[in-house]
Structure 1
Amino acid sequence: MAVSFDLFGTLVSAALPADPATAVADELAARNVEVPDDWGRAYAESYVDAPEGAAVPLPAHVARALASLGVDAPANAPRRAVVAAFDPAVETHPGAVEAVRAASERGPVALCSNCAVPELVGRTLVRSGLSRDDFDVIVTSVACGWRKPHPQVFETTADRLGVAPDTLVHVGDDPETDGGVAAVGGEFVDVRETSLEAVARRFE
């Protein structure tokens, strides 16, 4: 049995910026990038005509927002500012470690997370009770190019685990995104209804 876990809201809680536009602006300013007064409006605009379900990395969005305001930022400044702005305090949910380890006793395990910020998943794991070594593969939307619930995310996860998509069991906290595994024939386990401790017992 192959299992994938959502990260944010499922295995951990992460203290992310309540006002991302302001947090990113502060980090840009700290890197000597001039942020105009109408930055909030520019940040809220869409600049990439991406297919439905496609993931747009946040640094690319920030770079285009700056360009729309006529701001010429060094090539790496948007990425560095975004990474610094999303630097969370992390709390591991009760039963998370046990659920992941119990699943690993039954077969391959993946982390499958919607995340538009580079390095955020890695930093979160470092600050949690889990580690990269607890997962056979890590699939993020910023890396694979698609966001849950798009079927491609789950197909990519299953392919990297070496299993058919319809055999994948995905554990998450959001029926609208994590529940997308059903579109490829997999099973969704909702931690709002089944606790991580219960998930661990099931896999044991």
Structure 2
Amino acid sequence: MGVSFDLFGTLVTADRPADPAAAVATELAERDVVVPDDWADAYAEAHVDAPDGAEVPLPAHVSRALASRGVDYERNAARRAVVAAFDPTVETRPGAVEAVDAARERGPVAICSNCSVPELVGRTLVRSEFERDDFDAIVTSVGCGWRKPAPEIFELTADELGVAPADLVHVGDDPRADGGIEAIGGTALLLEDCPLEDVPARLASPNDHSSHE
């Protein structure tokens, strides 16, 4: 059996900009990028024609938004601005460390996280109570190109852990996104039904993983 955990909202809380477009605009200006007068509109528009379920990295979105307004900028400025705009204060959620420790007693453990910002998962872990070595694999949507609930991200997570999709238990807080594991035969443990503090006991009962009684 393998266990994967959602990161944001499940293992940690991490603040994010109240107005992402404005936060990115501030960081672009810091890098001498001309911010269009209608930046809020440009940021809100879709600029990349991605398949259903695919992740669009936020730097790519920002680059296309700037290009749509005819703005030229130094290479990598968009990426650096995005990374700086999403620089979180992180708190490890109560029960998170114990849940991961319990999962490690059952088999390999992964993080399976939706995140469109490069480097954010790594920086979040550094600021949490976890170590990188606590996880056998870290799968992110920005890294693999697919967002939960797309089956591809769960299949990749199972593959990284060396288990069959049906043998993967995924712990998360979002019924729609994290519940997507069930489409490939895996098991969802959703925090609305199974709080983090209860995860160790649920993992210790191999025949009682389903969050849907």
TM-score normalised to structure 1 length: 0.98
Which residue number in structure 2 is paired with residue 70 of structure 1? 70
1:1-31 C-alpha deviation (Å, 9 max, x unpaired): 1000000011111100111000000000000
* 2:176 match: secondary structure: coil
**1:110 and 2:110 correspond:** yes
Q: Which amino acid aligns with 1:53?
A: G
Partners in 2 of 1:103 and 1:119 — Cα distance?
A: 25
Q: Which amino acid aligns with 1:133?
A: D
1:15-67 C-alpha deviation (Å, 9 max, x unpaired): 00111000000000000111011000000010111110000000000000000
Residue ranges of structure 2 left out of the alignment (5+ in a row): 205-213
Which residue number in structure 1 is paired with residue 23 of structure 2? 23
Alpha carbon RMSD of aligned pairs, Å?
0.8
**1:181 and 2:181 correspond:** yes
Which residue number in structure 2 is paired with residue 56 of structure 1? 56
Query: How far off is 1:103 after superposition?
Result: 0.4
Partners in 2 of 1:176 and 1:195 — Cα distance?
A: 17
Query: Is residue 43–residue 62 contact of structure 1 (8 Å, CA) maintained in 2?
Result: yes
* 1:37 match: secondary structure: coil
Q: Which amino acid aligns with 1:144?
A: C
Aligned residues: 204
Which residue number in structure 2 is paired with residue 125 of structure 1? 125
TM-score normalised to structure 2 length: 0.94
Partners in 1 of 2:107 and 2:99 — Cα distance?
A: 13
Comparing 194-203 and 51-60, the one that deviates more: 194-203
Which residue number in structure 1 is paired with residue 196 of structure 2? 196
Identity in percent: 72
1:166-199 C-alpha deviation (Å, 9 max, x unpaired): 1110000011000000000000001122111110
Which residue number in structure 2 is paired with residue 157 of structure 1? 157
Q: Which amino acid aligns with 2:73?
A: A
* 2:101 match: secondary structure: helix
